[in-house]
Amino acid sequence: MDINISQKSPYTIRNNATPQQTGFWAKLKEQNGWNALGFHIEILSDGKIQSSADMLVLVTYIASDLTMAYVPYIPFSEVHTIHTGNILEELTETIHPYLPDNVLFFRYDVPWESPWTQDHDRYDNSGNWLGNPEPHIRELRMNFGTQNHALRKAVSDALPTNTIFIDLNKSTQELIYNMKSKTRYNIRLSQKKGVDVRIAERTELDKWYEIYAETTQRNHIHADDYKFFDHAIEAQNSDKETDLYMLIAEKNKTPLAGMFLTIVNEQATYLYGASSSRNRNLMGTYQLQWEAMQLAKQCGCTRYDMFGVSPSPDTSHPMYGLYRFKSGFGGHLFHRQGCWDYVFDEAKYNIYRATEAQSVGYHN
């Protein structure tokens, strides 16, 4: 396997499906303190291009004298015939000369399906996935066949590892039919009660942020500040390939729920969501999701990414509530491989790793 690489402006990254691999995301992260680098990469096998893509690499300081490099959701999709660890190792060694001298490790958010989903022993009697095995077992598999055995499973995952994809190629009637009966009922109930969903303007960000802040406080999760979402709207304006919609579900001008929806090429992603604790009987969250799917279909999307659920219907999992809600819309549960670090200095990395273990992320 060989890799060809050429550097390019991160704002000209094109033809990827996820918002995290776009010029929009590069601009947004730079507005929030990251340094963005762009590359065009070709993966070759026997002299033939097997896969190629533009790739965004983000760099940030993790200490006064140390940086890390991070790739959010690797944009390559046709890699099933090559061992994942070999790809990550080759990518890292190829890109390393373009990185700062003080980079401690290279982190990849790997969106490819976990190989452990193919292991029948990883499912219970009801067919529910039991999740990935212990990290040291996963590391043995990931490093198999690599030269430096430098890949480590990160202590947490920056982006969701478990999601639900909904096939928007289906007709509207098929989408409704594939929903759980309770979800269909709640959508119709919301419609009967007069809930409206509309695209909000930037000047209405206050409405969105009020219910977003309420949601994060209610669920005890990290909240991005107001400027982050304002920067997101601003960043989208500089990237013609990415569409960003701020949707609000309301009744009598009272916000019930909201979301930030991105559309990149043929994929729609439910990126950020919020809901009010008041008037929950109006089922605004259900109508919001359904209208977002309709909007995505109208924009030519073929897939809708629900963006974050628990890996199974385990009521003890902190993201079970999201699983219960999102799985009601139908779709396919997908398990990504999560964050992996290619380490340059093991001793310093272990110190950083111990500190990072106390932070919050999307855990398997």
Domains in the chain and their CATH numbers? Answer: 2-157+337-356 (3.40.630.30), 169-301 (3.40.630.30)
| 299-321 tens-digit pLDDT | 999 999 999 999 999 999 999 99
Residues pairing with 42 in the sheet: 4, 52
What is the per-residue pLDDT for 78? 58
What is the per-residue pLDDT for 47? 84
What is the per-residue pLDDT for 218? 92
Instruction: Say yes or no to pLDDT of 273 above 90.
Output: yes
Using only C-alpha atoms, the chain has a radius of gyration, in whole angstroms, of 21
Tell me how far the alpha carbon of residue 262 is from its chain's centroid: 11
Place 363 in a pLDDT band, splitting at 50, 70 and 90.
Answer: very low
- Total count of residues recorded for the chain: 364
What is the per-residue pLDDT for 313? 93
Alpha helix positions (H), 18-109: 23-31, 84-95
| 27-64 tens-digit pLDDT | 999 999 999 999 999 988 888 888 899 999 999 999 99
Of 69 and 356, the one with more pLDDT? 69
Q: Which helix (H) or strand (E) holds 175?
A: helix 172-177
Place 237 in a pLDDT band, splitting at 50, 70 and 90.
Answer: confident
Place 350 in a pLDDT band, splitting at 50, 70 and 90.
Answer: very high
Average pLDDT (351-361) is: 80
| 94-120 tens-digit pLDDT | 999 999 999 999 999 999 999 999 999
| 239-261 tens-digit pLDDT | 889 999 999 999 999 999 999 99
Q: Which helix (H) or strand (E) holds 257?
A: strand 254-264
What is the per-residue pLDDT for 364? 42
What is the per-residue pLDDT for 83? 81
Looking at every residue in the chain, the average pLDDT score rounds to: 94
Q: Tell the burial category of 117 from Cβ atoms under 10 Å away from its Cβ (0-12, 13-18, 19+).
A: middle
